[in-house]
């Protein structure tokens, strides 16, 4: 009986914590207009198969932003801007310098691509380095969460589940009280006549 009560309380706590966490992260990312962050790591969704089999299409990868963007060497996987809104995660295959300016540049290539990327990457366009952490196929869910329907779903479903759980707990409590009230032996003390 104690274990069952403890499990019920733990489930209630987990549902409330999940609801608050999801609601908080959705609201905070919407208010700041930024990407989802987790303890200083940016979570990105891989939308193409250019890095397969290392990183599967639809995976979530953790990118560590910041730091000296000229520190990378061949073999590192970086995420960089290729245009206004396009981010690419590819492997560095060569570190070069511009012959005229001496500026450091990176030649990159997707592991699954036949040829290197056409343009070398300027360190100023690098947003972060891939940490090696990936969750296969979870990016599809993250992309869904970024839509209006996803936001509503992620806020409403945990709330409805929490509400239903509260109703079920209330129903059980009321039923237990009614059973106790209707049982005449439960409410009367044991006494013996002299």
* DSSP reduced 3-state for 29: helix
Beta strands of the chain (E only): which ranges? 37-38, 41-45, 60-65, 77-81, 87-97, 104-109, 126-135
Q: Each residue of 88-147: pLDDT tens digit? A: 999 999 999 988 888 899 999 999 999 999 999 999 999 999 988 888 887 787 777 777
153 pLDDT tier (thresholds 50, 70, 90): confident
pTM recorded for the entire structure: 0.61
Question: Is residue 136 within 8 Å of residue 56, measured between CB atoms?
Answer: yes
Question: Is pLDDT larger for residue 12 or for residue 76?
Answer: 76
Q: Report which DSSP code applies to 47.
A: -
The residue with greater pLDDT, 188 or 36, is: 36
Catalytic residue set: 48
Half-sphere exposure of 11 (CA within 13 A, CB side): 12
pLDDT at 33 over 70: no
Q: pLDDT class for 190, splitting at 50, 70, 90?
A: low
pLDDT > 70 in the chain, percent:
81
| Domains of the chain with bracketed CATH | 31-145 (2.10.109.10)
The yes-or-no verdict on residue 17 having pLDDT over 80 is no
Element of type H or E holding 175: helix 148-182
Q: What is the pLDDT of residue 143?
A: 74
The least confident of 18-27, 80-89, 98-107, 144-153 is: 18-27
Q: What is the pLDDT of residue 72?
A: 92
């Amino acid at each position: 009986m104690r274990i069952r009560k403890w499990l019920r309380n733990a489930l209630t706590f987990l549902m409330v914590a999940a609801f608050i966490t999801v609601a908080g992260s959705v609201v905070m990312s919407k208010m700041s207009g930024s990407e989802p962050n987790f303890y200083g790591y940016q979570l990105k969704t891989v939308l193409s198969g250019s890095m397969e089999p290392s990183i599967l299409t639809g995976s979530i990868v953790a990118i560590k932003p910041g730091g000296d963007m000229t520190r990378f060497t061949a073999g590192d996987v970086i995420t960089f801007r290729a245009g206004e809104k396009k981010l690419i995660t590819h492997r560095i295959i060569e570190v070069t310098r511009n012959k005229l300016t001496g500026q450091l540049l990176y030649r990159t290539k997707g592991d699954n691509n036949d040829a290197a990327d056409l343009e070398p990457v300027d360190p100023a366009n690098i947003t972060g380095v891939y940490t090696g952490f990936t969750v296969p196929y979870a990016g599809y869910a993250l992309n869904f969460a970024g839509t209006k329907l996803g936001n509503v779903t992620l806020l409403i479903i945990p709330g409805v589940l929490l509400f239903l759980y509260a109703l079920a707990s209330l129903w059980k409590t009321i039923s237990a009280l009614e059973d106790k009230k209707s049982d005449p032996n439960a409410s009367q003390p044991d006494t013996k006549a002299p």
